[in-house]
Amino acid sequence: MAKDPSDSQAVSYLAEHGPSPREELPVQHLTTNVRTLVGTLNISGGPGGGGSTAGVAGGLTGIAYLREEHDLSTVVEAWLAVNEEQIEQLPADSIRRRLRASVSHDQRDVVSDVLSEAGYEVDYADRGGRQTDPFECSLCGSSVPDIAAHLQNCPER
């Protein structure tokens, strides 16, 4: 009879210690049934990843967590704390994009919120993103947030 995955040393360790560096688990090779309970948060290179992280001060440390017990925001905070020195070498937009890509689509806002609270903000204004300063209409002189929408109804047009 197969062993209950919740009896695993790794599961017990994470239940006691919370989200932890993957290398601290008492068992490094998790069985398939234990992997259904234990997730690992980390960023990687490759397609959409923006390149390898192996050259970033020896690589980044993944955080192991219990999928059904640990809140993702706590897991992301633990990942930031463990990798603080290494991620200083990466641009904030790379961290945000790659960490968001490492979680399911419905959890990406959680990652963004934690990164914003931790100061990993990205300014898209000079990279084709939305401009946050108002535009001045050259026809009527009005200050408007969306010049394209304004021009359709500009009184001086």
Give tens-digit pLDDT for 17-75: 999 999 999 998 988 899 999 999 998 753 334 444 455 545 899 999 999 999 999 99
Higher-confidence residue of 127 and 47: namely 127
Query: Would you state the structure tokens that stand for residue 124, as one six-digit string?
Result: 């898209």
